[in-house]
Every structure is written in C-alpha cells, then in structure tokens.
Structure 1
C-alpha cells in the first residue's frame, strides 16, 4: 500500500475515523426490518467503534500504516471474545482454543438461524455473533479505504453491503429514511476528507527549487464552497431515493425467486415434497427414542398444516415471538378446566432424525434440556429452533394427556369465532364429489362431534384401502382437493389422503380442522430404566392425522387412516352410550407381538424436501449478492478500462492524439503510485518519470521523450492536421506504460488495476470545493 503523500494530524485522522464510524453505524441500521429489537444494533455499534477508534489510537502512537489493519482485526477478535467468548476466554478478553471452537459453533448456529427464522428474526447469540463479526470486518475495510489508501469515495462499497441485504429478503427493501441517512453519512465522510485534505495541503511547507510560489490563505473559505456542498447533498438524496425505489424490485426478479417475505429467514419445511420417495423407503431408519411408563405412548407432532390453498396444505408463516420460550408453554387454546388433562413427563433422545421442528406430544406445557434457541408457535404449540436442529438433542417434555368424554364433545358450542374462521376456509371451486360426500356422511349427524365420528368411521370402513402404490400409479398423489376428489372415487391411498380428506370433509361440515404431521407412538423395546420402558420411533412411524376443534375441549386428534396408529376411545362409534367395551373398527390396527400396531411399510411423510429447495435458493441469492458486491468493487477498474479505451480511440481518430496519449500516461503513473501532480507541466512530469530505474533503457527513454515532445507541440505549437491516426504515439505509449508497470511490485500492479488512483483523484476533484481566487 502506498501511503498518502500528505501527512495528516491526529485531529484530522480522528475526524475521518468519526465520519467512518457514522457511515457504518447508519448503514447497519438498514438491517432493522430484518431483526427485532435494537440491542443488536448497539452491540454492532460498540464493535465498530472499538475497531475504528482502536485503529485511530494505533495511528496516534505512530504504528506503521501497513500494520494498523492487522491490529484492527486483532482488536475485533478481542471484542468478539469479550462479548461471546464467555468462560472459554482468559481474563474475559483473551481468546483460547476453546474460544475459537465456540466461535465455530456460533457461525454454524448463525447459518441455521438464517435458514429457519422468519423476519423479523430474533437476535439470538449465534445471529448476534455473525452480525458483530460482519460489521467489524466492514469497519476494517472502510478504515483501510479511508485512512490507509486514502480513497474514501470507495467506502461506499462496504457500506452498501448491509443496505442491499434487505432487498433480497423482504419486498419493501431498505427503509427510505435509512437510505437518506446513509447517503448523508457518506457525503459527510467525503466532505470531511476534502476539508482535511485541503487543510493539510495548505499547512504543508514545500522546500527546494520545485516549491510552489503560491501563497495560501490562513483558512479555507466556507462561503465559496456552499454551492458545491448543496449540490453534493442533492445528488446524494437523489441517489438514496433511486435506491429506495429500486431495491424492492430486486427481490421480485425472476433471477432471485418469488420475492415472498422471509425468503432467506424461511422455515425450510415442505411436507408434501417428494412424498412417493419417502413412502417407498426400503428400510426404516431410527428417528428417536423415549422412556415412558406403560400405557403413556403419545403421538409426536412436528408441525401443523392449517392453510389449505386448494393445491396443497401449508403452514401459516408467522414470525417467531421471542417471548415464546419453551420453558413455559401455555395451556392449549379452547381447553376448559372441566376436561380431564393429566401431566406426564417424557424423556426423549434424538437418534438420526434432523429437522428444525422438535417432535413433542400435543399439547406440551414445557421442554427442558434443549441446546440452542427454541420457541413455540401460537395455537399449534409446535416447537421449532432458530439456531439449532434436533441432531443429538436430549430433552424432557412435559405433556398433557387430554381425555375428553363424548358428552363434553357433543356439548361443544357450534358457533365458530373469527379466530377459528381460517380453519374453515375452502377453495371456491371445490369438486362436487367432496360436497356430496360430506352431505351424505354427516347429513343426519345431530352434533359436530357426531359428524366427525361419522367421517372417521366412513374413511375406516372396508370400502377404503390403504395403499402406497395406487396414488402413484394412478397419478393422484398429494393432498390437494383434486387429489381428494380422485381418492374419494378410487378409495385407495395412504395417511396423507385420509388425513386431508377428513380435514376437508370436516371443514365442509362446519368443523374447524387442521392436519398434524409427526410420528405415531413407536414400538416398545425390552429395555427398561428405572421402571420406564424404552420406546423406539423410526421412519416407518412418520404419519399425518387430522385435528378438529371443539369449544371447551380444544384441538382433538382423530385417526381416519386404517392400519395406522390407534383410534382414540372418544372417537369410536357408540362411545359414551353404555354399549360396553369398544369394538375394533374395520381396518383398525391390531397390535403385533411387540405390542405395536401394525403399520404399512413406508407409510411416512417427508419433511426434508424444503431444506434442499432452501439451500438452492440460498446459494442462488448468496451468489447474486456476491456478484453485486464484486461488481461494485470492480466498477473502478471497469471505468478505468473504459477511459483507456476511449483515449485509444481518440488517438486512432486523430482527435488531439498527443493530449490523449499523455493523459493516459500520467493516469497510469498515478495509478502505480508515481508522485505526479495534476497541474505539473509535461516536462516536469517527464523528468520525474525518467528518474525511475526502468527508463534508463534507451528505448523507454526515447518513448517517454517522444510523448512529451508531441504533447508540447500539440498544446503550445501551431495547429496540426486533424483526423490522422498516429501509430507512433500508440507504440510509444504502450512502451512507456509497460516500463512503468514493470518497475512496480505485482501487488502494486494489482492495486493499480482494482483501485486506480487517477480515477479516485478525479472523482474527489469533482466533489471538492474550489479554492478562492487568492489561493
């Protein structure tokens, strides 16, 4: 890195540091719509301030410029250790090997929370660590551009990173006030740099024969630059307005996806994707196991599908509430104190299943022992993680065994509240066979409960067959209403068809309904620990079942799928009428020798397809973000290449070719760090360049002199013949530029291409004020 030739005082360096901090702090505010609360922003501001002002302190004690960015990264590491190292650090600030292990786990958790959360996301520790690390690195990048290489105009590139991110996640993009503030902070940085640079030049004392004879005023007049300042501010506000208008369109482009809110902070669950593959799984794989007293074997819910859009069932995408921690979960909605509900603890150990949804019985009142951040969803009481998944988890869930009586279910109020109205929603173009079947099955039912029992008995009758092959062979696999219509005609399907059909028929009959996806009770093993029996749950226990709502009881599960799970006592025909022990219904599961109800092989339900879809979506969006950042960083090089090509065309067309060639030579020299002044005469510039080692060669010196003489003749001699290309000028220019580049180190040549100083100087000149007439 070539240091700026103009020395700055400590106060001037501090002013630039303060302006850099204002820019990164304001730019980070653009992430506000994505993250709930404001504590994360204060943390990021603390990290940015510590890093930037730490660098200012290092420069104040005259630390070599090349070491300052490295030491700033060390300061960033110490700050991250202070905030996130915890007990793994030494004296709270010095990292150890355990600290780096902790940082790796936090980064892994940050990746998961980005995949699993909806916006606004909760700033869990893993996400906060990623934010602090990212802001700290951006602060170092800005400091390098502003202080080390003295090109503050390029500080816009790292500042744009947090500003652009919302446009890829939410349709509204970054908020307009934040864009305006960011533009103002950027203009402030440029303005301070101009003032600092001018002040340094005015106070600089030149010595020797080449010293300027111009007498500088004691101060830079402000009135003479007011117009430039207002024009610059107006330009910045226009740019901010354009960004505010254009950023939302980024998220809706075909290249980046659908633009649905929360695309990046998505749930990653699509339960009906690639269902056929899951159904034909040849061998079961262990999912989890749990210990429970005899007879306490609940269903385990992963997620609840409550939105029926005709083609598929889906999950209502609500943002996670940070107050919904699993250490205290509410009583299920609609459950009155008159219904028997006994609490049971259950210890669960995850074996191989890996998902962001935690398998828990419904309803669960608390979960203990989980690693990571887990929250429950309103209504469904499903539990999902935002920075962890189920892999390797061991936890204890306390669940309620709700045991309503048929009398209580029959007494439920028929009225449906506004909150439950969405659970009755059906498409307008519902196939006629569904309406006819609902009317036929439930037409004589005196209560909603009797209608539900009738629907379950209808689907479990001998007229229906459990089949994993028929829906695939006949082309009606899935859970949409067209599939349900064909299922009712062909009467062969698996758990998804039975659960979807009962939920739709119940809604048609006026009963709020939803579908739960999870696992049946599992299979008991011979192992016992402390009087508790170990129950094994594998992929063949994957299942879907309907839940219907009855006021005073809440959401009640039913089992319409023959050969799967167990039929609840309260849902059997004749229950509560004094008819004696319930008789197994046709198609109901008979216990096997192990005590486990026989299930159909492969009758599972996938919940992993959405993860792959998300991964592809994330990599696509991440790739586009990377391309945009690369385009911003490469923009100066592209502009410089275009400028060079334009001058070459001028030489070939004979449009002041010598002036074009000389301009390109001096620009190349400035890019490579040669001390060439903008107002130096061609002869002074040539003399300075000729002193370089490469121009000791006769050919190189001849090329340089020919360029100098040509521009002097063109500028100060009689007008020559226009329109004639000058190939000798092109050859001389190529030779001189090659010799200039050969004299520099490879890293300096790369820097000259990526960060062309001549272009930056030109931009700064356009933004700077003019000196007064007496200067």
Structure 2
C-alpha cells in the first residue's frame, strides 16, 4: 500500500472519527419515537464507538487502509458476540458456530417483533441485536467514506438511514430537534475535514518547497466566509432533503406493525378468527396443539385471544401497545374481582406440540408464567399474553392460574351498572337487525337481575331448538360473527361455537351486560399417561373453541358456555342454580366432536412435520445468501463501472473519436488506480517524464514500454495542440491504409496503451493490483470535485 499523498496526522484522524461518531449517534436518536426507553440508544452508541474508534486505532498502528474496513467488521462481530453471544461464545468475545446459530435466531426474532409490535416498540434482545448490527454497519460505511475514500460529504448517506426510517412508520416522521442536531453534527464533520485538509495541503506545500518541487495551491488563508458558506449551503440542502423526504414519505399504520396484513397474525384481527376457526373445525384430521399436566383433576379452558370490539360486521381486538413493564413473572388480579369471591391458585405445566402463535394459550386468569423463551407481555385489559419476538413453537412453561368460583348469590348481588371504563363492552352499532333486540327482550323478560338474564340467554341458546353444525352456516351463507350473521343464525338456529358465542355476547349487550368473546381451547382429552402422578391431557384442533365472557361488578369477567354439546357448563350458570347446587358435577358434552383440522391458532401456518415449509436454519441460510449476493454486488460495482469506462474509451479509439485523448485518459486512469495519482494540472509530457522512471520502463526490458509511452504522449500532444486539433481525430496515429472501421486489436494506440499499462503495474504487489481493480481510485478522483475538494498534491 502506497502512503497517502495527502496524509493526516493521528490527531486529525481522531477528530474526524469523533465527528463521525457524533453524527451517527445523533442521527440514531431519530429512532426514538419508534422504540421505548433509552437503553437501546446507549447500546447502539457503544457499538458505533467501538467500531469507529477501533478503526482509528487500526490506522494509528499503520494498518493498510484497504484492510481497515475488513478489520472493523471483525471488531463489530466481536462486539456483537460480547453483547449477545452469551454462553455460546469463547472467552465472551470469540464467536463459535453456536454463536452464529444464536444470531440467526435473534434475526428471526427481530423480524417477528417488527411485525408484531406497535410503536413505541419494546427493545427486546432480538430488536436490540438488529439495531446494534445496523448501526455498526452504518458506522463502517461512514468511516470508509470519511477516512478511506476521503469524501466526508457523502457521510450524509448513512446518517440519513435512521433519520428516514420514522417517516415510513409514523406520520410525524423524525422529530425536528433531531434533524437540527444531526445537521449541526454534519456541519461539524465537514468543518473539521476542511480544516484538516487545509493543514495537510500546507504541510505538503512546505515539503515541496524543501525538495525544490513546485506546487500550486490557494493562498495560505482562505476567507472563512467562503468555505463556511459552501459548507452551510451543502448542509442546508441536506437538511431540506431530509425534511422533505421525512414529511412526504407515507407512513405505515400501527396495525401493520401488529401484522394485520401478514399471515403470521391473521388470527389476531377482524372476522378471520371466526371464519378460520370454522375452517379448522371442518378439516377431517385433527392436529395436536399442546398437552398439559394438571393437578387436582384441573380442566380449565385455555384463552389465546380476547375479542372485545364489535363493529357490526366483525369482532376484533382493541389495539393497545405492548407495555414493557407487563412481564409475565407477575400478572395482576383480574378486573373487578372482590376478595370475598372464592379463588384458588393452581399450577399447570404446558408443553406446546404443533401450534405456533404469538399468543400464549393460558387459563384465565393467570397470575404467573415461568419457563418461557423470548419476550412475553400481558395485556392490561384482557390479561392475554403475547410475544414480540417469539412464538409458542417448542415452548414448555408453567402457569399458575386462578380458579375463580363465584356463587350464584354473589353473581345476583353483583348486578348494577359497571364503571364507565366498561362502556366500550356495551357498544353496539345502530343498524342492528330488529330480530336481535326482539330476541333479547323476549329471552330476558322477567329476569330479576343481570345474572338471571345471562343464565336465561345461555339456556335459550342451549335449548333443543338450536343445533350444533359446522356445515350449515357455510352451506347457507351466514358464516362469521357480524350482525347479519347473528340475525340469520337466530332464524336458522344452526351453527357452531362462534355463532353461539357471538350471539350471546350481543344479546348480553342488548340487556346491558358488558361482554366480550374469548377464543382458545376447551379442556382437551385425558390420557392414561402420568408423569409424577399427574395425568397428561391432550389438546388438539377438536378442542378449538370460542365462548362469551360477561362482566359482573365484584366478580369480574365470568365465562359462559352457550354452545350445545361442547365444553363444560359452569355450575354457577345452570338454570335455577343456588348456593346449594355448587357441588353439582360438571356436565361435559357427550356428542361426538365434529371433524376438524389443525388449529387456526397457528397464525404462522408452520406446523411441525408439515411439508413445504422451510426450517428456520434453511431460511436463515437463504437470507444470508441473498445478503451476501447483495454485498458482493455493491463491492463489485466500482470495478464494473471502471470496466465500462475502459470499454467506452476503447470504442472511442476504434471509431476515431479523439482516439489519442481517449487512450491517454485511460493510461492516466490506470496510473491513478495503482495509487500513482499524477497531477491533473500537469502536461502529458510532464506526466510521462515522471512515470517513465518506474520499474516497468527501466533497462533494456523496458525499451518497448518506453516506446509505447512515447507514442501515447506524442499522439495526445499532436491531437490536443497540433494543427487541426479542434477536429475530431486530428493527430491520431493510424495504420497505413486503415479507416475508422479498422479492427481495435490492430490499432497502434491500443497496443501502445496495453503495453504502457502493463509496465505501470509491473513490480506492484498483488494486493495493490487487486485494489486497483476492485476500488479504482480514478473514479473516486473524478467524483471529488463534485463535492468541492481540491485535487491532491502529487506524491
């Protein structure tokens, strides 16, 4: 590697590194509206500092410039291993094969958390990993632009990446203070670079004076208004561009962040839970969902999702951002539960078989969950549990749930209006079909309390006049849970659990009882297997179910079972139940379960053993291969541009379009690629005089090379300065009798150019030749004047 022709001192490079870090750290703050807390920013700042100042240290010990970015990637890998590798690493910082597998899992988790979270997102480990990786890559890109390529004006490109991201997600985009501070940091970087370059130019001038050379540079002092004005102008353009892009970029709604458009969470929204649940129930072969080990013969329902918003055509989930404080190590008591209501805690061990969902199957209400992998949080309203970076696949966990056993007398005394916060659970659209209100009035007529009205509605739907059928709603065209479906269901009186559940929930709201719908699984089927004296219970898609929950002040949300021949009717909800009937054994439906398929609870549609689905490792290698191809394409882009430029000049020679000028430009460009960097202000004769001293032109072996260089020099001088120089092709050296269509291989200029270029590269190390091919300096030198940089002083 040849020494830099415009070297900077260690202090100057350190100042540029510090300014680069400040710019990246400040621009990363633009992600603040998207991510809660500030710990993620300190993590990103640590990675950026380690990467950038690591590069500064490598340059301080005179590591070749072309190796610094590669070694910075190694530094980034070591930092990521230290922060996220954990027990998979060796000596905390050395990655192993398991470390890369773990990184792949974190990357998959990050994809899920981006899909599943609303803003501000919780910075779970997977999200932190992607943020740290992204900031580290941006740091390397910025360092290459500022220190290696020496084009700090382009440092705005990596800085704009975090600034523009909010514009794609939230309507307000990046915050104005962040834009202002980022612009100020960018201005500071440009200013430091101007001062550093100015000092380097003056130092180079002093060296040339000492050696008798001649260097034409601007005055020692440039009016500060001139350079500052140009810097401010460029910065203003950058700020304006960022502001316009941020303001005009269409944002993605928070519902998309929750995954409404992706199959991975199709179970979470709208009418799809009901339609898909019915589709699963009609599939012929059931699939195992999970199994559990329950003590004391516990057989709870398992809630996965709670639908509390009814808009007339569909039931949906009220969207609430995930609260990072709502961890599953401790869940609160359910809303409205008084101390005098009997409630006992029961542990239950759950092992997921094939169902994969971001919502965790749990009995309601659960007080604690242990043993989960990933980040899981409970919802403040429904106490359902969801993950932002994992799913239920392969999970084994223990839940401590609360068995609430209210007496009928407690439910009767719980009548009366609930608080205003429950008004949303009473909302019904105004365009309800008349049959709904008429049925509610007829069924609840004469009920003394809201509890009695609820029992009457359940008894009405479980009466002999209603039939359980998964086929009738589809055949007759009223599948789902909207107003029209409920009205048709009340006429046809045939349907399955979603019709019974949604009908009871709407009828309850009609009579003033807050209601919602839970979707999940019934108790499952006991097996003969016992582990530690505890019986194993299997839950499969036969057990997929929906049921209503009604709110009674002082008791809380109480489940009912209006679907005939399905599930278990709670003791407190039986007609005529009193305190004396509390010991009545539960009655489980005896009718055969309808044919069903794998649970639609699997929103990812990735069941174990299913065909056609790539494993996480396969998808990781596929994504890694695509990423490598993209990186390779970016790395080879300069070489491809240079090859295209070289071919264009050879075509000019072939057709006689100022061929000597094209050949000389290619010769000078080749010299620049090899790091020679002849002065742009020098004449061809001066450049040839200096380059002829190189090893490839020396001695008898260099006779042909010297002759080729002389031919190129004479040709370009005749073409540029000789008679008729203004005419295209004047002074060109052409073979006798040749015309403009002569073959390129026979042109003396082409042969002379090839010989001279080969002599330039003779004696150069292989690394220099590869750098000249992959990172052609001639392209960089041509781009620098665009950003206001002066041509470098000849080495």
Provide TM-score, normalisation by structure 2.
Answer: 0.81
3-state secondary structure, aligned to 1:240: helix
Aligned twin of 1:255:
none
3-state secondary structure, aligned to 1:545: strand
Aligned twin of 1:345:
347
Q: Decide which moves more: 114-123 or 356-365.
A: 114-123
1:608 aligns with 2:617: no
Distance 2:331 2:142 in 1: 46
In the TM superposition, residue 301 of structure 1 has moved relative to its aligned partner by 0.8
In the TM superposition, residue 522 of structure 1 has moved relative to its aligned partner by 0.8
Distance 1:290 1:104 in 2: 30
In the TM superposition, residue 349 of structure 1 has moved relative to its aligned partner by 1.8
Matching residue within 776, 785, 794 for 1:762: 785
Distance 1:622 1:665 in 2: 40
3-state secondary structure, aligned to 1:158: helix
Verify the 8 A CA contact 1:180 1:240 in the aligned structure 2. Answer: no
In the TM superposition, residue 296 of structure 1 has moved relative to its aligned partner by 1.5
Distance 1:368 1:581 in 2: 32
1:590 aligns with 2:589: yes
Distance 1:438 1:747, change over 3 A: farther
Verify the 8 A CA contact 2:708 2:753 in the aligned structure 1. Answer: no
Matching residue within 744, 751, 758 for 2:775: 751
Taking the TM superposition and a 5 Å limit, the aligned residue runs for 1:613-632 are none
Aligned twin of 1:122:
122
Distance 1:496 1:264, change over 3 A: closer
Q: Decide which moves more: 96-105 or 424-433.
A: 96-105
Aligned twin of 1:41:
41
Aligned twin of 1:710:
719
Distance 1:339 1:110 in 2: 42
In the TM superposition, residue 526 of structure 1 has moved relative to its aligned partner by 1.4
3-state secondary structure, aligned to 1:534: strand
Deviations 1:648-683 (A, max 9, x none): 9999xx999999998899778757756143433455
Aligned twin of 2:266:
270
Distance 1:488 1:280 in 2: 22
Distance 1:211 1:400, change over 3 A: same
Distance 2:363 2:750 in 1: 77
Q: Decide which moves more: 77-86 or 327-336.
A: 77-86
Provide TM-score, normalisation by structure 1.
Answer: 0.83
Distance 1:73 1:410, change over 3 A: same
3-state secondary structure, aligned to 2:266: coil
Distance 1:6 1:290, change over 3 A: same
Distance 1:314 1:4 in 2: 64
In the TM superposition, residue 221 of structure 1 has moved relative to its aligned partner by 4.9
Distance 2:629 2:65 in 1: 30
Distance 1:405 1:711 in 2: 105
In the TM superposition, residue 335 of structure 1 has moved relative to its aligned partner by 0.6
Distance 1:5 1:39 in 2: 42
Verify the 8 A CA contact 1:542 1:603 in the aligned structure 2. Answer: no
Verify the 8 A CA contact 2:505 2:517 in the aligned structure 1. Answer: yes
Gaps of 5+ in 2: 607-612, 698-703, 733-738, 762-768
Aligned twin of 2:458:
456
Distance 2:506 2:670 in 1: 73
Aligned twin of 1:411:
413
Verify the 8 A CA contact 2:27 2:182 in the aligned structure 1. Answer: yes
Aligned twin of 1:175:
175
Distance 1:369 1:62, change over 3 A: same
In the TM superposition, residue 746 of structure 1 has moved relative to its aligned partner by 6.5
Distance 2:588 2:479 in 1: 23
Verify the 8 A CA contact 2:660 2:715 in the aligned structure 1. Answer: no
In the TM superposition, residue 529 of structure 1 has moved relative to its aligned partner by 3.3
Verify the 8 A CA contact 2:663 2:750 in the aligned structure 1. Answer: no
Aligned twin of 2:228:
226
Matching residue within 463, 468, 473 for 1:471: 473
Aligned twin of 2:766:
none
Distance 2:247 2:582 in 1: 71
Aligned twin of 1:29:
29
Distance 1:95 1:518, change over 3 A: same
1:437 aligns with 2:433: no
3-state secondary structure, aligned to 1:401: strand
Aligned twin of 2:382:
380
Verify the 8 A CA contact 2:88 2:95 in the aligned structure 1. Answer: yes
Distance 2:144 2:180 in 1: 24
Distance 1:213 1:182, change over 3 A: closer
Distance 1:384 1:739, change over 3 A: farther
In the TM superposition, residue 545 of structure 1 has moved relative to its aligned partner by 0.9
Distance 1:707 1:473, change over 3 A: farther
3-state secondary structure, aligned to 2:438: helix
In the TM superposition, residue 633 of structure 1 has moved relative to its aligned partner by 9.8
**CA RMSD of the aligned region, Å?**
4.6
Deviations 1:223-243 (A, max 9, x none): 442322332333233223223
Aligned twin of 1:144:
144
3-state secondary structure, aligned to 1:162: helix
- Report how many aligned residue pairs link the two structures: 746
In the TM superposition, residue 513 of structure 1 has moved relative to its aligned partner by 1.2
Distance 1:488 1:698, change over 3 A: farther
Taking the TM superposition and a 5 Å limit, the aligned residue runs for 1:623-702 are 675-681=677-683, 683-684=685-686, 696=705
3-state secondary structure, aligned to 2:257: coil
Verify the 8 A CA contact 1:661 1:729 in the aligned structure 2. Answer: no
Taking the TM superposition and a 5 Å limit, the aligned residue runs for 1:519-530 are 519-530=521-532
Taking the TM superposition and a 5 Å limit, the aligned residue runs for 1:204-243 are 204=204, 205-206=207-208, 211-214=213-216, 221-243=223-245
Distance 1:356 1:514 in 2: 21
In the TM superposition, residue 501 of structure 1 has moved relative to its aligned partner by 1.7
